Structure 1
Amino acid sequence: MTSQSPDHTRGAAMRERELIPGEIDFSLMYFAHDAFARDLRRMAAAAAAGRGTDPTVRNGWETFKRQLHIHHVAEDESIWPQLREKVTDPRDVAVLDMMEAEHGRIDPLLAQVDACLTAGSADGLAAAAQEAADALIAHMEHEEDLALPLAQTHLGSAGWNKYVKYLQKTQGLSGAAEFLPWALDGASPATRAEVLGKLPAPVRLLSRLVFEPRYAKTPRWSGVAA
């Protein structure tokens, strides 16, 4: 398999990945995962600096949660059900059980972070943010290492396109208007070009002229390093 080198401008937590051979290009999924990890690092840094109550941190955290919810619902509604219909090996079924169980554990951990933010508990926030980061990053690694190969084998491009169409139907341009600038936040020019190059030309134009300027009007994570 071909190694996918990390873009170190996005932060040291990015993974060195082995590309999964087959019809499906998972690069946008990986890019979303890296953006989630980026925001988890930001929250950890904000907590360490005692800046959890900063409005720009709260804005960034709310955007992170919204994008994670969209991401997980799309998987729960489109990817895992398709695989449930196709896999028969008990080991593969166990992987899908793991994906769903891990999704169920993450929301309560995010709620703990929210509770600390509301209470203004700096010490509690640091611990809660770290626990949430550990759980989500471990889940994303399990997904990439164990679940996405199942999608490559059992869904192929046709099945994966059902997931893409689910996102398009449920999110539309309004969803893309937040997802693209959120995911591109802090990306290198090379990564930006790679990601935008996978999108239709009208969407690329909208991203540059409309989505990103609109997104930038709400300050997020100001002064917090990723």
Structure 2
Amino acid sequence: MTSQSPDDTRGGAMRVRKPIPGEIDFSLMYFAHDAFARDLRRMAAAAATGRGGDPSVRNGWETFKRQLHTHHVAEDESIWPQLREKVTDPQDIAVLDMMEAEHGRIDPLLAQVDAALATGDAAELAAAAGEAAEALIAHMEHEEDFALPLAQTHLGGEGWNRYVKYLQKTQGLSGAAEFLPWALDGAAPATRTDVLGKLPAPVRVLCRLVFEPRYAKTPRWTGVAA
């Protein structure tokens, strides 16, 4: 997997990504985006087959929401504010406004999925899951196409490292204990090797011997294809 073109999207159509020349490697960001898209496809499949009430589907959905919340808060707290301080072009400012507006739109759509899960209405769940998937996938594409190039230009490696340090400080090993096995779920062997190769050796060992076995104890999306 390269920083611009991961070798799998967990069973979905390949997202063609344009290279963003510069010192920031966005591959882990893309990797998280692909994992979000994977779980959205799983929820759509569960809704289509009337399996929204399955405990493993509920567990998978709750994990997805936790990871998305963490992901968006880190962007809201660490990436967009840095860019607000640096960009001056009205078009660039409009991109940041779009990022914030799209973040604000997604949570109510996820709440609609939760409401449909609570009522057990399969048609309502399918509609809500489809609307949430459309909004989030469009947002991730907008972020990759318009916002990440701004980060490459205006933040560089030093500014991006502040975002990485924010995640490390707020999430620590306990956050990595869920993020890593969640994101690696269903990844191709080459992707797995590439992602783990970016981590310190002790974290790789913890992931293999502790994080993934612990994660596997809770069934998520059992029998639901991505």
Provide the TM-score with structure 1 as the length reference: 0.97
8 Å CA contact retained: 1:3, 1:16: no
- Identity across the alignment (%): 87
8 Å CA contact retained: 2:178, 2:215: yes
Cα distance, 1:188 vs structure 2: 1.0
Aligned to 1:49: 49
Distance 1:126 1:203 in 2: 38
Distance 1:148 1:125, change over 3 A: same
Distance 2:48 2:57 in 1: 12
Whether 1:25 and 2:25 are equivalent positions in the alignment is yes
**Letter of the structure 1 residue corresponding to residue 195 of structure 2:** V
Distance 2:131 2:139 in 1: 12
Whether 1:76 and 2:76 are equivalent positions in the alignment is yes
Cα distance, 1:39 vs structure 2: 0.1
Distance 1:211 1:80 in 2: 30
**Letter of the structure 2 residue corresponding to residue 74 of structure 1:** A
Cα distance, 1:4 vs structure 2: 4.3
Aligned to 1:144: 144
Distance 2:188 2:41 in 1: 18
Cα distance, 1:6 vs structure 2: 4.5
| 1:26-175 equivalence runs, <5 A | 26-175=26-175
Deviations 1:90-149 (A, max 9, x none): 000000000000000000000000000001010000000000000000000000000000
SS class of match (2:71)? helix
Aligned to 1:222: 222
**Letter of the structure 1 residue corresponding to residue 23 of structure 2:** E
What's the Cα RMSD here? 1.2
8 Å CA contact retained: 1:3, 1:17: no
Distance 1:127 1:58, change over 3 A: same
Q: Which runs of 5+ in 2 are unaligned?
A: none
Q: Which runs of 5+ in 1 are unaligned?
A: none
**Letter of the structure 1 residue corresponding to residue 54 of structure 2:** D
Aligned to 2:178: 178
8 Å CA contact retained: 1:5, 1:17: yes
8 Å CA contact retained: 1:67, 1:179: yes
Whether 1:196 and 2:196 are equivalent positions in the alignment is yes
Query: Which segments of structure 1 move beyond 2 Å, counting only runs of 4 or more?
Result: 2-9
Distance 1:92 1:3 in 2: 23
Deviations 1:160-214 (A, max 9, x none): 0000000000000000000000000000111000000000000000000000000
8 Å CA contact retained: 1:6, 1:16: no
